[in-house]
Structures are given as C-alpha cells and as structure tokens.
Amino acid sequence: MIRRGLVTQPLDRITPPPALDESRVRADFPILDRPVGDHRLVYLDSAATAQKPRAVIDAMSDFYFRYNANVHRGVHVLGGEATAAYDRARELVRQFLNVPRVDEVVFTAGTTAAINLVAQSWGGASLRSGDEIILTGYEHHSNLVPWQLAAHRAGALLRVVPLLADGTLDLEAYERLLSGRTRMVAVSHASNVLGTISPVAQMARMAHEVGALVLVDGAQSAPHLPVDVQQLNCDFFACSAHKCYGPTGFGVLYGRQELLRRMPPWIAGGGMIEQVTFDATTYAAPPARFEAGTPAVAQAIGFGAAIEYLQQLGLDAVWAHEQALLRYATDRLSEVEGLRLFGNAPMKVGVLSFVLGTIHPHDLATVLDAGGVAVRAGHHCAQPLMQHLKVPATVRASFGVYNTRDDVDRLVEGLAEARQRFGR
C-alpha cells in the first residue's frame, strides 16, 4: 500500500510500514556482487544514478530479444507487442506519480530535458519583459540554467529563495518574493546536495494565490518517497528514470492538460504532427506533440519495470528504510572528528554532504574508493549553493534501497583511514 501525503505529514504515521528485507533486496541487484579491488562494493552514489535491479535489466533485454519494433506505426505482430508494452509504461508512470490522466504524462530524455521543454515551450510563449521566475538557493543547474536562458530571451528576471542555516528554504523571504509579476516557481522537491525536502504543497498554494505556475524538479524525490502530483498541487513535475532504478536517457514530465494543450511544440519531427503539407502543419495533442522522433521504447519499458519493482517493495517501506539509514548515518558521521555536515533539515532524503578537516573532497573520495566505497565529490551541479556554503566542493554519500548499516560503517572506516593518511 502506498500512503500519499507522506511529504508534509511524515510524523503522523501510526502503523509502521513493512520493513525491507535487506538481503533479498540486495540480491535483486547483480552489480552489488562485483568486487572493487579487494573489497565488496559499497555504492553510496545513488543520487547520481541508482543501480538497476535484475527486473529492469531483464525487461529491457526481453524487449530486444523478443519484440523489438517501432511503436505506433507498423501493423505487424512485433509492432503491436512493442506498442502495448510502451503504452503500458505510460500508464505505470501515471500511477507512480498519481497523475489524473495518462495524456498528462510526457516522455522525455530525462529531468533536464523535461525542464527545458517547459522553459522553452511554455516560457517562450508566455514570458514577457519584467516577468519574474522564482527559484531556490539549492537548485541543480538543470533547474536554473534553462530558466536563465528563457528569462534572458524574454527580458524576465530570476528571483532566488534564500536558505536558512539548516538548509531549509526561507519561506518568509519566499512570501515576500511572490507578486503579481511572478509567473513561475521552479523548485526542487529534494535538494541533491543537502537532501532538504521542500514544502512543495505549501509553496504551490502560495504561488497559485498570485497566479503563478509551479514546476517541481522531482529527480531526487521520486525514488525515495511516494509522489502524488495532485497532493503536491503542482502544475509540472519532472523526474528521471535512472535515479529510480531504471535506464539512463529517459524521464517524464507531468503537466496539467490545459497547460500542455496551450504550449507550442518544442522539438519538431515525426510523431508530433496531425497533418503536414509544405505550407503548414497542425500538431498532435499532448503528449505526442512533445515527443517527436522514434521514442526510447526500451527505456520506457525499463522504467515501467523499475516502477513495478518500487511498487512491489512499497514506497512506504523504501522511505522508512532510507530514513532509518539516514538517522544512523547522521549519528555515525557526527562522531567523526573534524567532519562538517551540510544540511540538517528536519525533512531530508538520504543524502549526506560533508567535508572532513582540510582534506579536499576529491582526495577523500579517492581514498574511500580505494576501500570500495563509491561516493560523489564535487560541486554536484549546484555551484551557486557551493558559493553559499563557501566551499569549492563537498563529498556526498547518498542512499538507495540496497544500502545497509554495514555500508555506513564502511564509509566511517574509510573516513578514519583518510584522516590518518592526511594527518588532519
């Protein structure tokens, strides 16, 4: 059972969700069997991309082995099977995000492409000089640069919601930024660096009061908690398959139908038309209007399999597992001398960004990697946030369904070794 509304009321839970069976979940991910050097792989980089369960790998192989064909075109058997599986994937996405109508699910090349689609199509048609777009201080470049481009073209302005010391959004400042000039609020559902979960439903209510639309970048939330776009009350929601245990190069955009219908085409070509002559073209209704070209059929099927896998585990159980791990890891890391953790919001996904003493994050990540512990080091495509934190980079450990307390212990051991090696 997936309980909705978790995001705003996590503490109201009364019945504990069924726990994940750790060893069974781990057995679902073949890659976890490979060693790294002499060590068992400890994969703590799921915020960059999640590993893939056998169910996803098999679903995609099965497509290529047995029924590879283009969709919505030929009349042959293979084409029919491929089309049925492809269309079913859209329905699975609809359920996954609790989208009202299946034609409100647009397939894209990922979160980045989904945001660019809205920024260019909606932004190009709707933004005027003097309009304002509100972003937050922890946006990933992919929910910042597309808006800069759109704003620059239209003569519109970007406004940024500042962060409080714990890594949450300053909602009073947000309220002051909202005005009749605000046309769009583009916000991460969860920060890829701090883990902070944004109070999206509340922010959307406030945005709608001034007539602005809300786009939610769900790249870091969709794999970790039950998403309900109706409960979030957002106008657009974007997420990527590969962070949800599915394939790379694929993602989705949810958009309210009356908005999508008014948006002009973005990329033009086959599959997005109604009728074409050399003089004029009429365009297909959404979502086809935004899906020119042969679609990523195998990836759609793979994402469908990933969604079924997550639903089988239960997103409630996933959330509970990762939250317990986050608490454990936060405690363990706070015991490490010289470790500075960034972001201690009360509502976080399983992301821990930190620096250790004066050891540069890249050196730290290299030492950890030599012990089989894979973490991310760098600016995490959030340079404005790094400027705010006054660090050039951080190390980031992030969790997926397959991580365990033992993984956290291995991370802490690696940190101790790094301290010893660098003597600081």
Partner 1 sequence: MSDLDELYQSVILDHDRSPRNFRELAGPACRAAEGYNPLCGDKVRVMVRVEDGVIADASFLGSGCAISKASASMMTETLKGQTVAEANRLVERFHRELTGGPAEGDLPRKLVVFRGVTAFPMRVKCATLAWHAMRQALEPATAPDAT
CA distance 181 to 129: 10
Q: Provide the minimum distance between the beta carbon of 415 and partner 1 in the complex, in angstroms, as a whole number.
A: 15
CA distance 218 to 236: 10
Q: Tell me how far the alpha carbon of residue 412 is from its chain's centroid.
A: 27
* Burial zone of 128 (CB within 10 Å; 0-12 exposed, 13-18 middle, 19+ buried): exposed
Contacts for 399 with CB less than 8 Å, ≥ 6 apart: 44, 46, 322, 325, 326, 329, 350, 351
Work out whether strand 105-108 and strand 251-255 pair parallel, antiparallel, or are unpaired.
antiparallel
Question: How many positions of this chain bind partner 1 (CB under 8 A)?
Answer: 19
Our finding on whether 35 is near partner 1 (CB under 8 A) is no
* Burial zone of 406 (CB within 10 Å; 0-12 exposed, 13-18 middle, 19+ buried): exposed
CA distance 297 to 120: 25
Q: Which is nearer to partner 1, 144 or 393 (CB)?
A: 393
Q: Which is nearer to partner 1, 5 or 338 (CB)?
A: 338
Our finding on whether 41 is near partner 1 (CB under 8 A) is no
Q: Which of 41, 87, 332, 422 binds partner 1 (CB under 8 A)?
A: 422
* 122 touches 95 (CB < 8 A): no
Contacts for 10 with CB less than 8 Å, ≥ 6 apart: 319, 347
Task: Give the H/E segment covering residue 308.
Answer: helix 297-313
Our finding on whether 392 is near partner 1 (CB under 8 A) is yes
Our finding on whether 420 is near partner 1 (CB under 8 A) is no
Question: Counting every residue, how long is the chain?
Answer: 424
Q: Provide the minimum distance between the beta carbon of 161 and partner 1 in the complex, in angstroms, as a whole number.
A: 23
**Looking only at residues 326 through 385 of this chain, which bind partner 1 when binding is defined by CB under 8 A?**
359-363, 366-367, 370, 377-379, 383
Catalytic residue among 234, 239, 244, 381: 381
Q: Provide the minimum distance between the beta carbon of 38 and partner 1 in the complex, in angstroms, as a whole number.
A: 10
How many Cβ atoms sit within 10 Å of the Cβ of residue 230?
12
Q: Which of 56, 106, 386, 397 binds partner 1 (CB under 8 A)?
A: 386
Q: Residues 393-412 vs partner 1: string with x where CB under 8 A?
A: x-------------------
Q: Which is nearer to partner 1, 247 or 361 (CB)?
A: 361
Q: Which is nearer to partner 1, 344 or 383 (CB)?
A: 383
Q: Which of 16, 35, 180, 423 binds partner 1 (CB under 8 A)?
A: 423
Q: Provide the minimum distance between the beta carbon of 397 and partner 1 in the complex, in angstroms, as a whole number.
A: 17
Q: Which is nearer to partner 1, 192 or 404 (CB)?
A: 192
Q: Which is nearer to partner 1, 328 or 422 (CB)?
A: 422
For the question of residue 239 being annotated catalytic, the response is no
Our finding on whether 283 is near partner 1 (CB under 8 A) is no
Place of tokens 């993984």: 407
Q: Provide the minimum distance between the beta carbon of 367 and partner 1 in the complex, in angstroms, as a whole number.
A: 7
Q: C-alpha angle with apex 89: 83 to 94, nearest 5 degrees?
A: 130
Interface ranges with partner 1 (CB under 8 A): 359-363, 366-367, 370, 377-379, 383, 386, 392-393, 421-424
So which residues are the catalytic ones?
381
